[in-house]
Amino acid sequence: MPCEIRTTSRFRKCIVGKEIAVLETLRKVQTAFGQPHVHTGLSIRKIAPDTFECRTDLKLRLVFLAEKGILTFDFAGDHDEVQNYLRGVR
C-alpha cells in the first residue's frame, strides 16, 4: 500500500515553478518507497535517521522524513542547499 504524502510550507516554497516535475517524483516515491529494487531510479538514499532524499533531476533534490505510512517532504534544493538545510535541522 502506498505511503501518505505530506508537504510542508517550506517545501512548497522551494518548488515554486517546478511543481509538475516534483509532483511526478512524489508519485513515484509514494509507490516505490520501501522497495529498494523499485526506487533505484529515483536515487532515494538515507541521509540522517528517518531522513531521506531523492532526485527530481540532476540538480533538484527533495528531502523527506519517513514515519510509518507517512512521507513528509520538508525541503528541496541543490546539493549545497540540502547540506545547509541538514546543518540547520541537526
Summarize pLDDT for 24-54 with one digit per residue, the tens: 999 999 988 877 665 556 788 999 899 999 9
Residue 74 lies in a domain: yes
Establish if 85 belongs to a structural domain: no
In a domain, 88, yes or no: no
Q: What is the CATH number of the domain that holds 64?
A: 3.30.2310.20
What pTM was computed for the model? Answer: 0.90
On the question of pLDDT at 90 being above 70, the answer is: no
Domain assignment present for residue 32? The answer is yes
- Residue 17's H or E segment, with its range, is none
The answer to whether residue 72 scores a pLDDT higher than 60 is yes
Q: How many CB atoms lie within 10 A of CB 60?
A: 19
Task: With a cut of 80, say whether residue 71 has pLDDT above it.
Answer: yes
Give the per-residue pLDDT at 2. Answer: 77
Quote the cell numbers at residue 74: 520538508
The predicted pLDDT at position 79 comes to 94
In a domain, 42, yes or no: yes
The range of the structural domain enclosing residue 40 comes to: 4-78
Q: For the chain, what is the domain count?
A: 1
Q: How far apart are CA 25 and CA 20, in angstroms?
A: 9
Instruction: Let me know if residue 17 belongs to a domain.
Output: yes
In a domain, 89, yes or no: no
Mean pLDDT of the chain, nearest integer: 90
